[in-house]
Amino acid sequence: MNAPATLPTLRFFTCGSVDDGKSTLIGRLLHEQNQIYEDQLSALAKDSLKHGTTGEEIDFALLVDGLEAEREQGITIDVAYRYFSTPRRNFIVADTPGHEQYTRNMVTGASNADLAILLVDARKGLLTQTHRHAVIVSLLGIRDVVLAVNKMDLVRYDKAIYDKIVADFSAFAAPLGFVTVAPIPLSARRGDNVSNRSDQTPWYEGAPLVETLETIDVRNPAAGDFRLPVQWINRPDLDFRGFAGTVASGEIAVGDEIMVATSSRKSRVTGIYVASDTSQTARAGEAVTLTLADEVDIARGDVLCRPGAAPAVGEQFAAHVIWMGEEPMHPGRSYLMKIGPTLAPVVFVELHHRLHVATLEKLAAKTLALNEVALCKLAAGHPVAFDPYKDNRSTGGFIVIDRASNQTVAAGVIEYHLRRSENVHFQLLAISKDERAGQKRQTPKVLWFTGMSGAGKSTIANLVETRLHMRGAHSMILDGDNVRHGLNRDLGFTENDRIENIRRIGEVAKLMTEAGLIVLCSFISPFAVDRKMTRDLLAPGEFVEIYVHVPVDVAIRRDPKGLYKKALAGQIKNFTGIDQPYEAPTEPELTLDTTGATAEALADRVVAWLEERGAIPLLLAR
Amino acid sequence: MTLSTHLRALEAETIHIFREVAADFRNPVILYSIGKDSCVLLHLAMKAFHPAKLPIPLMHVDTTWKFREMIAFRDETAHRLGLDLLVHVNEDGVRRGVSPIASGSNTHTLVMKTEALRQALDKWGFDAAIGGARRDEEKSRAKERIFSHRTTQHGWDPRNQRPELWRVFNTRIRQGESMRVFPLSNWTELDVWDYIRAEGIPVVPLYFARERPVVRRQGAWIMQDDERFELEAGERIEMRRVRFRTLGCYPLTGAIESDATSLDDIIAEMRASRTSERQGRLIDHDEAGSMEKKKREGYF
C-alpha cells in the first residue's frame, strides 16, 4: 500500500438494472482488497443473517446499503461512496441504485466519475434499465466503460451467453461514443475475475476487474482552454483583491493576459496562490486565487479565460436534460440554473425531442416527466459564459432548481450555443403573471369600490392601500382624480363616454393585475352592467366588488364636495342618487356600511378579507 | 513534504467547498470538535481564504466530558491562529445532571451533543454548519451529500436527498432551514493522517501512545481523565501504554494499546490495522442503524 500512485485517483461507479449485483460487486472488491475491518465484517455477518439474501454466506451488498430503508427492502436507494487503494492506484467508488425511480441518485454518482462499470446479469442479458444507464453514462461524458457480465456462475460460465451479451451491447452502444468498452465475465458473489483471474473462465483472455481499473488511462477531462469560474472575491484589505476559484481546465501563469468572458474586459495576472502558497502557474483542478494588474469589475460567477480562447457567452443554448423532479417540467416557467458558481433564471423554451432510452428513438414531446431525457432549448435570464459539455464538464454542466421547492429538478449538459439567428422569439418566454405576482408574494386583485358620491369610497380605498403598503404588498389606486385628468381626458359624460371610461379603467386594472399588483378602483359606477363588464374582463376571482353603502339622505347631509346641493338645484344633470338611479350590487364580495363603523375599521375589514383568502401574506409573528 | 496528486486533489476539492459556503451563505459556522478531522478541516479553511482571515467563525459544542487535553489544545489552537471561538454547552442538560456515566451514552449524546448543537445553531441563527465528517467513517455517512439539507427542525431526510452533480452545489434554503456541509466527505482516515504528516498540522497529544491510567470496561480501555469517573466493583486503574484513534467524551472513548509515538508510527499502525476507527466509540454500537437515527434527529 505504500507505493505512491502514479496514475491519478480513479473515480468510478457501478450501474445497471436492479439485482444485477452492483452493491455485491463493490462489497466483494472492498473485501478482497482488505478494505473491510474485522469489526465491520463481524457486524456484516450479523446483518447478513437478519437482512441478507445469501443464506449463511456473507451478503456483501449490506456493506454499502447503509440506510435502514435499503436494508429492510434489500435495494439500493441512494448513492454510496466508498474508498480503496491498491499499490498502483487510489479509487473512489460510487455505488448507485438500479431502480428507475432512483435514477437521479444514479446520475449523482455518475456525474463525477471517470469510468462506469455497467453490470449485466448473465441470465437476463440487456434490460431497459441497462440501456437507460448506458445512455446516461454517455450523456454525462463518460467515455470508458467496463461491461461486467455478472453472475456467470449461474450460467455455468457459458462463453456463448457471455459472447452474445457483449455483441448485443456493442450493437446498442455503437452510437453512444464510448472510447473503451472492456467486457469482463465475472461473479461478484464468488469472486471470479474480480481481483484474480478465475479458473472457471479459461476462455477469457482479458484482465480481471481490478487490474483493468488499475491500468486504464482515462481521458484527461481537464485538458483544454483556460477557464477559471470565479467563486469568491478575496478582499482582506484595500490593497489586496484576489479572485478565488477552481481552475476548470487549462493553465495560466503570472504575466499572462486574461479576459473576463462576459464583459470582454482584459487584464494581466500579477500573482497566483495555489491553495495558500504563491506559485508561478495554476493548473486544472487546483483551487487558486489570482491577482490582476487592473481594477477590473469581476464578480462571483464570472469566468476568466484567455483572450482569443473564450467560452461562448449568451442567453440561449441547446442542452440534453435529465428531468429529476417529481413534478413534470413546465415549459415557460421560470426556474433557476446553476452552472459552476453562476446562478441565473432560466426557462425551457422548446423541447426539440425526447429520447427513448431503450431504442435511442427521437420522440416529439411537450413536457418532461421524472427520469425522462430530452434535447431542449433553454433561455437564461442574463448572458452566461459556457462551453459545450463535451469540451468542458465544469463549464458545460448545469443543474436546474425549482424556485418554490428549492429542489434540484434537472441536470443538463450543454450541446451548443444558439446563435441570434436561431434564437426563439422572446415573447414566447415572457415572464408570466403568476411569476410576477409570486415574486411579490401576493395574488393580484381588483378591489372595486362602488357606491354613491360621498359614501367614502376614496377615503376607505386610501386607508386600505396604506395598510397594504405597510404590509409589504404591492398596490395601485385608480380613481377619478388620476384617470379623468390623463388617460380619459378626452371623455365626457355621455352614455358612450361613460362606458368607454369604465372599459379603459378595466383594461388598465387588468394590465396592473398582469403586473401582479393589487389594484384599488374607486368609482361610483352606478350600473351593474358596467361592473359586470369589468368583472368579465378579469380572471375568475380577481374582481372584488366592494359595495360602500350609504343611505341617500346621509350622503346628502355629508355632501363633502357640495355636489348634491348643486344637483338638487338642477345645476348638475344625471347625478347618481338624484336624477339617475344607483343600481346597488346584488352579490358583492363585501358590503361596507358606512353609517355603523369608522373608515379605519372598514379598511381593516377589507385587509382581513384579503388575508383570509391568501391574497396577501399573513403578518409574521416576530 | 510535497503532497501526492491524490492529496492535492482532495485538498482542492475541500477548498472549493469552503469557498462555495462562504459565497452562498449568510451566516455559516465551522463545527470544531478538536479531533484530527477538525484539525485538517480548520487547516484547509485557513488555506481556502488566504491571505484573508478566516471569514467563518468556529464553534465547539462542549459536552463538558471531553478530555482535558482536548480543551487545552482547543484554546491553544484558537489563540495561535487568532480565531473567534464560540463555545456552547447545553446548560439545561448540565442542570439536569446528564452525563455519560449517570445517563448512559444514548441520553448523554442526545442531550449534550444533538440537542446542544440544535440550541447553538438556533441561538446564533447559523444557516450552514460545516463539519469534518467523512464518508468512510460509517455506512449512513457514506450515503450523505456534501451539502446536506436540514429542515427547520434540523432533521435529515435520507430518502429525499437532493441530487448533487459535479461540483455544482444547490445551496438554496428557505427561512429557518439550514445546510450541513461536509468538505472532507471524500477523505479517508488514512488520507487525513497522510495529510497531517505532510503539512505538519498539530494534533492533540492523545493520539500518540503514552502510559495512561486506564480501566477495562465493556471490552474497551477507558481513561480516567478526572475524578468524576468512578470505578465500579472489580475495576481497577492500570497504567497502560495506549493512544486514541478517535476522540470524544472520555468515558465513551476506548483507547488502543499501542507503541505509536510519532505520525510515521501511527500511519504504519493504521495500515496494519484490522479494525475500524469507530470500534473505539461506544455510542455507535448502541443499536443497529444508530448513526442514521442520530443523524435524522440532528446529530452531526
CATH at A265? 2.40.30.10
Q: Is A274 inside any structural domain?
A: yes
Residue A3 cell numbers, joined: 507505493
Q: Which residue of A has its CA nearest to B276?
A: A37
Secondary element (H or E) of residue A529: helix A528-537
Q: Do B170 and A245 touch (CB under 8 A)?
A: no
Give A427's DSSP letter. G
Same domain, A205 and A232: no
Same domain, A338 and A248: no
Q: Give me the residue from A47, A67, A401 closest to B158, CB to CB.
A: A67
Q: How far apart are CA A42 and CA A40, in angstroms?
A: 6
Same domain, A136 and A208: yes
Q: Is A81 inside any structural domain?
A: yes
Same domain, A14 and A127: yes
Inter-residue contact A528 to A459 (CB < 8 Å): no
Q: Is A125 inside any structural domain?
A: yes
Cβ within 8 Å of residue B163, ≥6 positions away: A104, A105, A107, A108, A324, A399, A408, A411
Same domain, A153 and A259: no
Inter-residue contact A138 to A360 (CB < 8 Å): no
Q: Give me the residue from B52, B274, B278 closest to A38, CB to CB.
A: B274
Strands B85-88 and B128-130: unpaired
Q: Give me the residue from B53, B186, B289 closest to A81, CB to CB.
A: B186
Give the minimum alpha-carbon distance from A281 to chain B in angstroms, rounded to a whole number: 15
Same domain, A300 and A316: no
Give B294's DSSP letter. H
Secondary element (H or E) of residue A522: strand A518-522
Q: Do B16 and A90 touch (CB under 8 A)?
A: no
Query: Packing angle between helix A103-111 and helix A128-139, nearest 10 degrees?
Result: 40
Same domain, A138 and A180: yes
Secondary element (H or E) of residue A377: strand A373-386
More confident residue, A292 or A7: A292
Range scoring the smallest mean pLDDT among A253-257, A549-553, A569-573, B206-210: A569-573
Give the minimum alpha-carbon distance from A96 to chain B in angstroms, rounded to a whole number: 10
Q: Do A275 and B11 touch (CB under 8 A)?
A: yes
Q: ipTM, 2 decimals?
A: 0.89
Same domain, A122 and A34: yes
> pLDDT tens across B121-173, in order?
999 999 999 999 998 887 778 888 999 998 888 888 877 789 999 999 999 98
Same domain, A416 and A276: no
Residues of A in contact with B13 (CB under 8 A): 287
Inter-residue contact A95 to A80 (CB < 8 Å): yes
Radius of gyration (C-alpha) of chain B in whole angstroms: 19
> pLDDT tens across A29-60, in order?
888 877 666 777 777 777 776 766 666 666 77
Inter-residue contact A283 to A251 (CB < 8 Å): yes
Q: Do A71 and B289 touch (CB under 8 A)?
A: yes
Inter-residue contact A66 to B292 (CB < 8 Å): yes
Same domain, A338 and A287: no
Q: How many domains does chain A have?
A: 4
Q: Is A523 inside any structural domain?
A: yes
Q: Is A622 inside any structural domain?
A: no
Last residue of a domain, one of A155, A187, A215: A215
Domain holding A82: CATH number?
Answer: 3.40.50.300
Same domain, A365 and A439: no
User: Taking the model in full, what pTM does it have?
Assistant: 0.76
Q: How many CA atoms lie within 13 A of B18 on its CB side?
A: 32
A3 pLDDT band, cuts 50/70/90, is very low
Closest alpha carbon to A314 in A235, A219, A420? A420
The string of DSSP codes covering A145-159 is EEEEEE-GGGGTT-H
Q: Give me the residue from A79, A232, A397 closest to B19, CB to CB.
A: A232
Of the candidates A267, A334, A394, A525, the residue annotated as catalytic is A525
Q: Is A619 inside any structural domain?
A: no
- Please give the backbone phi and psi of residue A599, each rounded to the nearest 5 degrees, phi first: -60, -35
Q: How many CA atoms lie within 13 A of A363 on its CB side?
A: 15
Cβ within 8 Å of residue B164, ≥6 positions away: A108, A408, B145, B146, B147, B170
**Across A124-179, where does the E strand assignment appear?**
144-150
Q: Do A8 and B6 touch (CB under 8 A)?
A: yes
Give the minimum alpha-carbon distance from A563 to chain B in angstroms, rounded to a whole number: 53
Closest alpha carbon to B277 in B152, B192, B213? B192
Last residue of a domain, one of A264, A289, A305: A305
Residues of A in contact with B19 (CB under 8 A): 231-232, 244-245, 287
Same domain, A138 and A208: yes
More confident residue, A194 or A63: A194
Q: What is the pLDDT of residue A572?
A: 82
Give the minimum alpha-carbon distance from A135 to chain B in angstroms, rounded to a whole number: 17
Q: How far apart are CA A350 and CA A361, in angstroms?
A: 18
Q: What is the pLDDT of residue A561?
A: 82
Residue A555 cell numbers, joined: 350622503
Residue carrying the nine cell digits 443499536: B287
Q: How far apart are CA A268 and CA A291, in angstroms?
A: 9
Q: How far apart are CA A141 and CA A388, in angstroms?
A: 11
**Residue A195 annotated to the active site:** no
B52 pLDDT band, cuts 50/70/90, is very high
Last residue of a domain, one of A190, A215, A240: A215
The string of DSSP codes covering B131-169 is ----GGG-TTGGG--SEEEE-TT----GGGPPP--TT--
Q: Is A4 inside any structural domain?
A: no
> pLDDT tens across A498-523, in order?
888 888 999 999 999 999 999 999 99
Domain that holds residue A232: 228-305
Chain-centroid distance, C-alpha A265: 30
Q: Which residue of B has its CA nearest to A393?
A: B166
